[in-house]
Amino acid sequence: MSFSINRRNLLAGSAATLALGAGAVRPASAQTKEVVIGALYPLSGAAAQIGVDAQKAFEVALAVINEKSDLDLPLAGSAGLAGLGGAKVRIVYADHQGDPQKGRAEAERLITQEKVSALVGSYQSAVAATVSQSAERYGIPFLSADNSSPSLTRRGLKYFFRAAAHDEMFSAAMFDFLDAQRKKGQKVDTIALFHEDTIFGTDSANAQLKIAKERGYNVAADIKYRANSPSLTAEVQQLKAADADVLMPSSYTTDGILLLKTMNELGYKPKAVLAQAAGFSEQALYDAVGPLAEGIITRGSFSLDLAKKRPSVGVVNELFKKASGGKDLNDNTSREFMALLLLADAIDRAKSTEGEAIRNALIATDLPGEKTIMPWSKVKYDESGQNPYADPVLLQRIGNTFVTVFPAQAAIADALWPMKK
C-alpha cells in the first residue's frame, strides 16, 4: 500500500500544528487556504497525558487530511480539502486542565480570538458540557471525540455532535456480555458499581442501575467516590464486604490505579472487573499496576483486531506508534483520530468555514463503517446529534495486550472467566 506520509513529514507538520495561540483569522470561504479547528484537552494536571496522546492522534489525522494517500478513509484521496480548493487544516490547542469553567473560557477564546471554524474535544464529559454551551451560543459546531456521558446529547443543542457511543450504549453491550456468560452457565447474579462523582461517573452509574434492574441483576453495592481522592480504602472495604460477582468501575486513570492497588492491599478479588473504559483504556494504568490488571475487561470503541478486516486500521496504528513513541491506538486516541477526520470531511462537503454550513454537512453525514477505523456500522447522526450506529466492543487484558472477546462477530477469543489471578 503506497502512502505519502512519512515520519519526517509527520513531525514537520506537527511542529506547526502544535503551536498554541497562532492567531489565524478565518478568511472568506472562496479564499480559504487554511481551516483552523480548536481542540480542547487537558494538557496539564493529572490527565495531561490524555491531552498529549490526543495531540498525537490529531497529528496523524492531519497527515491523512492534508496529504494524499490511498487509505480507504475520508479525505485520504486528496491533499487538503478539495471542497475548499485544497485548503489545509490546522489545529489550535487549548488546555482546559480538566476544569469545566476553564474549558468554557478557552472555548470562547478559540472562537472569538483564534477564529476557529469548529471545536473538537474534550475527554472529560463535565468539560464538554460547558464547552458545548459556548459553542452553541456562537453557532460553532462542537464534535465530541471522546465524551461518553449520555446526557450531553439530550440538551436540545443544534451544534453538538458525537460519532462514538455513549455510556448507555456501552453499558448495554456490557450487560449483553454478562447475559452471554449466564447462558454459558457462569454464576453472574450480583454486580457492584463504583463510580467517580462527576457527570461521567454519575451518568455511567445511572445507566448501569437502569439496565441491571431491567435484566434481573442484583446491585450489591453502588459506591460513589470523590474524583482524584487520595484514598479509596473505605470504599474498597465496602466493595469487599458486598462480594459481588462483577465489579463495574467508572474511573479515570489515577483513580483506576489507586482502586486496583487498594484492592490488592485489602485482598479483594472479584470474579470479574468490567470497566467503563476511561482510565482502564490507558496504558499508563497498566504500566502502573502491572499484573494486578490481568484479566480485566473494558468496553471500548476500538479494536486493533479489526486490522484483519480493515487494512486502514493497521496503517493508521503504525503512524500513531511512530508519532507517539511506540504506543498503539486505544479507545480514546482512535476516537480522537476519527473525530477530526469526520469534522474535516464535513467542512470539505460544506465547502465553507461558516458554522451553519458545517452543521448542515454534519447532519448529512452518512459514512459506511468500512470507511472508518472503528467497529461501527456507519456514521449517521440522529436528531440529537448522536451516532446510534457506533457499535461497542469488549476487550480483555491478557498479558501486555488487549484481546477482543465480545461481541461474537468481532471476538478473536473467548473471555477468561473468572479473571486470571
Q: Would you state the cell numbers that stand for residue 204, as one nine-digit string?
A: 455511567
CA atoms of 407 and 369, how far apart (whole Å):
16
Q: Would you state the cell numbers that stand for residue 14, as one nine-digit string?
A: 506537527
pLDDT at 30 (0 to 100): 47
Q: Which of 359, 382, 283 is nearest to 326 (CA)?
A: 283
Alpha helices for 139-246 (secondary structure H)? 167-183, 199-215, 233-242
Helix axes 7-17, 48-66, angle to 10 degrees: 120
CA atoms of 61 and 55, how far apart (whole Å):
10
Nearest 5°: phi and psi at 34?
A: -145, 135
* Angstrom distances, CA of residue 146 to CA of 6, 58, 286, 405: 27, 13, 20, 22
pLDDT at 420 (0 to 100): 63
pTM score over 0.85: no
Omega before 122 within 30 of 0, i.e. cis: yes
pLDDT at 14 (0 to 100): 41
Enumerate residue ranges in the chain where pLDDT < 70.
Answer: 1-31, 420-421
Q: Could you read off the pLDDT of 357-403 as tens digits, one per residue?
A: 999 999 999 999 999 999 999 999 999 999 999 999 999 998 888 88
* Angstrom distances, CA of residue 280 to CA of 270, 298, 323: 16, 7, 22
pLDDT at 295 (0 to 100): 92
pLDDT at 421 (0 to 100): 53
DSSP-derived letter for residue 81 is B
pLDDT at 283 (0 to 100): 84
DSSP structure string for 103-146: HHHHHHHHHHTS--SEEEE-SSHHHHHHHHHHHHHHT--EEESS
CA atoms of 308 and 302, how far apart (whole Å):
13
**Which residues are bridge partners to 81 per DSSP?**
87
pLDDT at 2 (0 to 100): 44
Q: Would you state the cell numbers that stand for residue 385, as one nine-digit string?
A: 446529534
By residue count, the chain amounts to 421
Question: What is the arrangement of strands in the sheet containing 246-250, beginning at the earlier edge strand?
Answer: 218-225, 190-196, 246-250, 272-275, 297-300, 393-398, 401-406
Give the burial string for 176-186 (b: 16+ CB within 10 Å, else e). ebbebbeeeee
- Residue 218: strand, helix, or coil: strand
Q: Which domains does the chain have, with CATH numbers?
A: 7-165+307-390 (3.40.50.2300), 168-300+394-406 (3.40.50.2300)
